[in-house]
Structure 1
């Protein structure tokens, strides 16, 4: 990992936060300890009611605060408006960069000057110790590590966009309260931009998950709206990240297994067929389950496999609901019209 110091870029690191006092200090302290020094830090408090803005004041950062919550998209846009660098580096407030995250990203950017946007990966050592949180964060890591390096979308947990491209596509859509980073990635690709996944550029995730929050997020905040977004895209479903063909086949196998087990109560012979669906699920996800076993052992893996099959079942529900809602509302989403980012009501803290 070598950096051309003579041409090292200046990074504008933008961290939006809303009521994130539990994790924000970890995030900002890690940024301050980075082994790369050419950066500025902009913290945009999106109308928090906790002590997030006060915590941010302790760090070498420009801290601005909205009078009311306007959403992460608007917060990031405002941070970009204040930025001085040619590269906008977005970090989520519940993510902790490694000491070499910035330098690894810069080295990647220098090796790939054609890239208009680059995003990294969660690491394999999430901070929360709960079972669901460990499963969820390790699954995220695995998905990132097995994704295509030529990406079709974007991720703001740890992602860089060229300032020129960000301005060209109009930044994030402030009307969106979720999936705004995915939407940005689609618009960058439609504008002819190139997006890369740098798997070795990693951050530690601090988000606590429980079963309820995971299902709610996956169904209401991601699954249904993402399905509707995908059905509106000319490219449709791509074989990458969460949308890999193996994942789609796993959803079918999970429902087949459930149907055969239920039918087996009336027709016991069908229980034998359920073994085929079980084998298909194991085969399609074998590498993931081996990964769980390497990282957390056999007992964890058994629980993670069960949870993963539940995940596939509600992914199917999400997709079905998204298709129905898209069909009921044939009006495509209106094109995002770029407006002045200065129209939002913001004030310096």
Structure 2
């Protein structure tokens, strides 16, 4: 199957003001960050019709109360409770089912949108079924210098296969979303890679634009390690699903050499006072451990 083919956009004849955009935000224990994101969304300069569908997913903190306090300020903020399953993929699907829009815009509860973010995505959706925006790592990441990165534009290379859009800044028409069946709810992480790849394999090209979302990284070594383990498990899950489409894996020799190198570095990581280097190495160890776990869980071999 051809990778990342051009797509014929013959259906895009409506004017921008005819777009009804539904912003879908999954929220799990987001009491410390949700307000900042909602304040940013209040400042959007988009003049068309839009709504926010905030999906509260098994939160045990004050996320719901904070959301309800903003409901008095937002006429178009709707709050949906989604307690049945855990995970952003499930929560986003719940939000889509409740949404009124003919296009969906996805972001997270712990990030901060730039003022023209929504209007730029709306304009791009007049030309493309799928749009990936830009992530800025410099504004919100204070604790660990290694995570204070530069902007990342649009599609990102992923696992030597197709590129992926990140759901922290991602938009898709209802037509395209429904054509691929929405998010795969069996992914607790990397569901954005899964849906990006399925869209591309279904002949939808992903447009990239510099609409900025200020992205918040994990801020502690423990949370970085836990997130990396989940990402590694998802890598194996992706391989199980997409190997048939040509997703490669590393050779045994390459994997073995990488493992030996990382084992030798364990003492250095434990004693290293440089937070930047330590964060980078912790992420690598977590990812490898996750791939081991994922290979067992999904009965495949992806290290």
Normalised TM-score (structure 2): 0.74
How far is 1:95 from its partner?
A: 1.2
Cross-structure match for 1:308: 280
1:123 counterpart = 2:133: no
How far is 1:88 from its partner?
A: 0.2
Q: In 1, distance between residues paired with 2:262 and 2:55?
A: 46
Q: What SS class does the counterpart of residue 21 from structure 1 fall into? A: coil
Larger mean CA deviation between 55-64 and 18-27 belongs to 55-64
Distance change >3 Å, CA 316–CA 206, structure 1 → 2: closer
Q: What SS class does the counterpart of residue 212 from structure 1 fall into? A: helix
Q: In 2, distance between residues paired with 1:312 and 1:49?
A: 30
Distance change >3 Å, CA 231–CA 64, structure 1 → 2: closer
Distance change >3 Å, CA 146–CA 257, structure 1 → 2: farther
Distance change >3 Å, CA 145–CA 308, structure 1 → 2: farther
Unpaired segments ≥5 residues, structure 2:
1-12, 267-272
Q: In 1, distance between residues paired with 2:46 and 2:30?
A: 25
CA RMSD of aligned residues (A): 3.5
Q: In 2, distance between residues paired with 1:28 and 1:16?
A: 13
- The C-alpha deviation readout for 1:161-220, integer Å capped at 9, x for no partner, is 11011111121223333322222222222322222333x22211245421111112112x
Q: Is the 8 A contact 1:23 1:206 kept in 2?
A: no
- The C-alpha deviation readout for 1:212-252, integer Å capped at 9, x for no partner, is 11112112x111222331243123049xxxx9xxxxx8x88
- The C-alpha deviation readout for 1:133-153, integer Å capped at 9, x for no partner, is x42352xx55557846xx633
1:228 counterpart = 2:237: yes
- The C-alpha deviation readout for 1:93-123, integer Å capped at 9, x for no partner, is 111100011122223334xx2x332222321
Aligned residues: 268
How far is 1:45 from its partner?
A: 1.4
Larger Rg: 1 or 2?
Answer: 1
Q: In 1, distance between residues paired with 2:205 and 2:116?
A: 24
Unpaired segments ≥5 residues, structure 1:
244-248, 263-299, 332-349
Normalised TM-score (structure 1): 0.65
